Amino acid sequence: MNLLSATEAAALVRSGSTVASAGFVGCGHAEAVTAALERRFLAEGEPADLTLVYSAGQGDRGHRGVNHFGHAGMTACIVGGHWRSAPKLSSLALDERCAAFNLPQGVITQLYRAIAGGKPGVITKIGLHTFVDPKLDGAAINGIGRDAVMRGARRYVESVHLRGERWLLYPSFPIDVALIRGTSVDARGNLATEKEAFHHELLAIAQAARNSGGIVIAQARRIVQRHDNLHAVKVPGILIDHVVIAEHDDEHMMTFAEADNPAYYTSWRGPGHEPPRAAPAPLDVRKIVQRRALLELVARHPRVVNLGVGMPAGIGAVADEEGVSGFTLTVEAGPIGGTPADGLSFGASAYPEAVVDHPAQFDFYDGGGIDIAFLGLAELDVKGNVNVSLFGEGGQRIVSGVGGFINITQSAREVVFMGTLTAGGLEVEAGDGRLRIVREGRVAKIVPAVSHLTFDAGYVASLGRRILYVTERAVFELRGGVLTLVEVAPGIDVREQVLAHCAPGVRVAEPLRTMDPRIFDPAPMLTRERG
């Protein structure tokens, strides 16, 4: 084991390298090492012209995580899965200071395995009929990226035909530097994750870099003589070149929101030992949408459920509050069962039943393992298409990125999108089974055509999937290729408060149902406490 300081490790990264970084929002990112890389670049101008590769978003929407790479000259190309947590990378891309590509999160995490195994890449249908498709933007999200695709200089996705069908090939490429993180490392350099929320794609990244002739830098919290639990060792020492022990607590937090939370690495304790329910959250607009979405779980009786980042992640807490069970919540990071966390701890789950690695979770997802998935929406059009990857917010363009969105929406047997009908200052009040709009949002989310195609509703519907769109005041369903209003909240005027904020072309179902009034009452919806 070669023990280095973070500064010494950063000095090993050469200009022009392709750097793969592990992590998931605020979990498992090698913060000490990436912060040292940033300090070196600002002081010396090196390493420069890096290609940064990462599957899940890593950052706090501020300065931590892969935001450390967000400097012109330091990073020449970004190949990322989710971007919302790294606004410095988003600015770099939109200012045309680097080439920028957004690949599906599941594809990137599986691509590490393909690189490790010397395979030509990942062949999948994930990404067809979206901006990732070479028939559209080829995953490029800025002008420099699109120019590189047009010139053939950079192609991270290609269209191929196999057995009479069109597929996408995501080609392999060498990894020069792998940045990974675990809890402890032993005298032989074996890395364990006993107090991490999950173990990402640590093994795949390390193998990919090793077999590419690159180096693996592992950050840990402590050195142990030996590991007591063999099965906590996720990366063997034969793959690790250098080890950095984090010197400061804020460089090795469990997530970017929590220094430590034992619930994330403590397994489900069996019937009769469930953790106490959290105090009910206030009945705000997010909870209203989450409650209506929860009713889909009650009605559909799914076995396996996926919750996306943001508003959907809160369904787990609402389900606990209501005492609803009988299904298993999963997160693409790897946790199966338990209650998914939200915010900067998204990716973790409290008291999970099992934790698999990141690529394996997407193997299961891509093959159709999800019965129902709940995802967010930023922009929706009258054909039911959704944009969550590149859109305007507050008068600025934002690269949010797809994360696992494309994998999940193109594979789940049923998809429920969640969001408010309008954005930008929306305020509502709920009580006595009715909804009142206090202040309308400035931005209508239902537009004639989405500005960036992250979800092609017609294509997914052709696969036989049911597609639902839940907002605080109305529920829509894709019917016959057209967005159709099927439910409206009690107290809401259909024409003035729903259709007036939709682009022309939205249909109204007959009969038009009323949303369950229990959603709009602060009392529990489904438990006996309601009486």
Handedness of CA 281, 286, 292, 293 (dihedral sign): negative
Q: Is 332 a catalytic residue?
A: yes
The token pair that represents 11 in the structure block: 């000095």
Cα-to-chain-centroid distance, residue 119 = 26
The token pair that represents 5 in the structure block: 């300081």
DSSP string, 41-96: HHHH--S-SEEEEESS-BS-SSSSGGGGG-STTTEEEEEESB-TT-HHHHHHHHTT
Exposure string of 474-509, with b = 16+ CB inside 10 Å and e = fewer, is bbbbbeeeebbbbbbbbbbeeeebbbebbbeebeee
Q: How far apart are CA 424 and CA 394, in angstroms?
A: 8
Find, among 31, 33, 87, 67, the residue nearest to 241 by Cα: 33
Find, among 141, 145, 58, the residue nearest to 105 by Cα: 58
In degrees, to the nearest 5, what angle opens at C-alpha 289 toward C-alphas 285 and 292?
A: 140
How many H-runs (helices) and E-runs (strands) does the chain carry? 12, 36
Give the count of beta carbons closer than 10 Å to the beta carbon of residue 142. 25
Residue length, the chain?
531
Catalytic residue, chosen from 332, 472, 477, 487, is: 332
Which residues are the active-site residues?
332
